[in-house]
Amino acid sequence: MDRHAEAHDAAGAAEAPVWPRPRPGVGTDVVVTHLLIVRDVDRSRRFYTDVLGAKPLMEGPPAILRFYNSWLILSQEGGPTDDKPDVVAVAPSDGRTLTSALNLRVADIYEAYARWRERGAEFLTPPQVHAAEIRCYVRDPDGHLIEVGQTTGRPDRD
């Protein structure tokens, strides 16, 4: 795959860059990606592509996925490297301890909930209504928590 390619819609207009790289001078000096440490890169790639609709850019390992308006990097567990000599990369040890979470904002939470359940996602609960949002949570195959929410207002405004 061309790492520097641009995506184009049917009319030929440029969309967001396919590959996560900064583009100085066009308002994209920094690009945010989310690194997830997983036990099985192929299994996690299938979950994010087949269930949640991500687009694979690189099969991996590591796998790099275009995930709506962002990117996910799925990397396997491993020991220290030359650039992080005292760090060991591990997937979550249990699903009850939250250290990080993806937060997916959707236009219609009930539609996303139904679509992703149909594709195999197992949500902790159905969507729950809160003061400024409706939200629910799902876990990926390694136990990473993913919040799915629809904003309904701002809690500081009536």
pLDDT, one tens digit per residue, over 34-68 is: 999 999 999 999 999 999 999 999 888 899 999 98
Q: Identify the CA nearest to 69 among candidates 35, 101, 36, 34.
A: 34
CA separation, residue 70 to residues 16, 18, 126, 132, 143 (Å):
9, 10, 25, 24, 20
Domains of the chain: 1-91 (3.30.1900), 93-158 (3.10.180.10)
What integer pLDDT is reported at residue 13 of this predicted model? 34
What integer pLDDT is reported at residue 39 of this predicted model? 92
Question: Is the peptide bond between 126 and the residue preceding it cis, with omega within 30 degrees of 0?
Answer: no
What integer pLDDT is reported at residue 156 of this predicted model? 62
In whole angstroms, what is the distance from residue 103 CA to residue 81 CA?
29
CA separation, residue 59 to residues 4, 49, 55, 82, 131 (Å):
17, 11, 10, 24, 40
In whole angstroms, what is the distance from residue 10 CA to residue 52 CA?
23
Lowest mean pLDDT among 14-23, 46-55, 70-79, 117-126: 14-23
State pTM to two decimals. 0.73
Indicate whether 16 pLDDT > 60: no
* Spatial CB neighbours of 120, under 8 Å, sequence gap ≥ 6: 50, 51
